[in-house]
Copies of this chain bind each other. A is one copy, B any other.
Amino acid sequence: MMIVIMDRTASLATINSVLRFVEDSGCTPHVSKGDEKTIIGVVGDDRALLSEKMQTMPGVEKVIQTAKPYRLVSREWKPENTVIDVNDIKIGGGDLTVIAGPCGVESETQLLEIAHAVKEAGASILRGGAFKPRTSPYSFQGLGERGLELLAKAREATGLAVITEVVTPNQVPLVSQYADILQIGARNSQNYSLLQEIGKLRKPVMLKRGMMSNLEEYLMAAEYILANGNYNVILCERGIRTFETSTRNTMDISAIPLLKSLSHLPMFADPSHATGKRSLVAPVAKAAVAAGADGLMIEVHNHPEKALSDGIQALLPESFAELMKDLKKLGLALNRQV
C-alpha cells in the first residue's frame, strides 16, 4: 500500500489525473478528502518505481510507502530466528558467539600465538584480514593469499572457525576456499556487485553495517544477498559516523535490539571498530551483550605496538581473557551461555 498526499492547491482535474494513473498501473485508489488536503490510498502494488514516478506528478506533495522495502530479511517474512551453523557453533541460537583475532594477518607466529590465546580464553571463531581495505594507498594492504593460508593453518592448529574479509567480486572464489565465514566490511556495505556475488554462495557471510547506512539501507544491503539465494547472513553493528570525534565511530547500541525486532538474522557487535580505543572495548562489549547481541567481534593482538594496522584498538590477550570472564558472569545474569 502507498499513500499519496496531494498539495492543498491541487485542482480536481489534477487529482483526477493522479487517480487515472493509479488505475492505469493496475492499482485501486481510495480517496479521503480532508479539510485542507486530499489523501489517496493506493492498494495493490508498492513497487518502488511506482512511488518514484508518482512523486514527480503535478499536484503530488508527498508519497508514503506503508510497506517496508525489504522482504526476505524481515521478521514479518520469517518470524523465527535464523540460526547459522558453523562447525557446530550455532550462531544466533541464543548463546553468545565470540570472534576474536588480529586486525590483519601479519605472520605465522603472530597469528598462531593470538589464535591459541583467544581459543583458550573462550572465543570460537578467529578473525584476521588477508585483504585489507586501507584509506591510504601507501598503507599495508594485507598478505593476500598467503594470509588465507595462514588462517587455514591456525584453524587446523586450534579448531577455531575462521572469518576473513573479501573486498572485490573476483576474490570471492579464492576467499571462500579458505574461510568458514566471509566478511563484507563497512566500506563495501553498498558495493552491490560484491553483494550479488556473495549472494550466489551458500557459505555464511557477515555483512558489517556501513558507517553511514541507516537501518533500512543496511537491511536492503542484506536483502541483496538473500535475494541472490544466500540466506546465511550475519549482521554486525560496528559504529556509525557522527559529529563526535572522541571515538572512531559512534556505536549505535539501539540498533542491536531494533534490528533483532525487524529481522530474523543474527546480530553481532564490533566494539573495537566502534570505539577505536582499547580502554573502551570491554565496557562497550558488555553493553552490546546486555542489549541483546548474538555475538561479538573483537580485535586482539599480542604486540599492539608492532601491529601493521589498528593496534591502537586491539586488546592484549590477557585483557581479552579478563573480558571473557566478565561476559560469562553477564551471560549468567541474562540466561545466556558464552
- Which of B64, B169, B241 sits near A64, CB closer than 8 Å? B64
- Which of B33, B257, B277 sits near A284, CB closer than 8 Å? B257
Asked if A242 meets B245 with Cβ closer than 8 Å, knowing A56-B307, A167-B192, the reply is: no
The A264-302 residues at the B interface (CB cut-off 8 A) are 274-275, 277-280, 283-284, 286-292
Contact present for A36 and B1 (CB under 8 Å): yes
* Complex: A284 Cα to B251 Cα, angstroms: 12
Residues of B within 8 A of A41 (CB): 32, 34, 39, 41
Binding site for B on A (CB under 8 A): 1, 3, 5, 8, 30, 32-37, 39, 41, 43-44, 47-49, 52-57, 61-62, 64, 66-67, 69-70, 76, 133-140, 167-170, 187-188, 190-194, 196, 210-212, 214-217, 220, 223-224, 227-228, 240-247, 250-258, 261, 274-275, 277-280, 283-284, 286-292, 304-312, 314, 329-330, 332-334
Contact present for B280 and A287 (CB under 8 Å): no
Contact present for A136 and B69 (CB under 8 Å): yes
Contact present for A243 and B257 (CB under 8 Å): no
* Complex: A305 Cα to B245 Cα, angstroms: 28
- Which of B210, B280, B290, B329 sits near A283, CB closer than 8 Å? B290
* Complex: A30 Cα to B3 Cα, angstroms: 13
> Shortest beta-carbon distance, A64 to chain B, in Å?
6
Closest to A63 in B: B312
Contact present for A283 and B312 (CB under 8 Å): no
Contact present for A32 and B32 (CB under 8 Å): yes
Contact present for B284 and A254 (CB under 8 Å): yes
Closest to A282 in B: B257
> Shortest beta-carbon distance, A166 to chain B, in Å?
10
Contact present for B253 and A258 (CB under 8 Å): no
Closest to A57 in B: B305
Residues of B within 8 A of A240 (CB): 242-244, 250
Contact present for A312 and B192 (CB under 8 Å): no
Asked if A253 meets B56 with Cβ closer than 8 Å, knowing A3-B3, A43-B34, A243-B242, the reply is: no
- Which of B188, B250, B308, B330 sits near A49, CB closer than 8 Å? B308
- Which of B254, B275, B309 sits near A274, CB closer than 8 Å? B254
Residues of B within 8 A of A251 (CB): 252-254
Contact present for B227 and A137 (CB under 8 Å): yes
* Complex: A210 Cα to B244 Cα, angstroms: 12
- Which of B67, B69, B76, B311 sits near A53, CB closer than 8 Å? B311
- Which of B56, B217, B288 sits near A312, CB closer than 8 Å? B56
Residues of B within 8 A of A5 (CB): 3, 66
> Shortest beta-carbon distance, A226 to chain B, in Å?
9
Residues of B within 8 A of A333 (CB): 329-330, 332-333
Contact present for B167 and A169 (CB under 8 Å): no
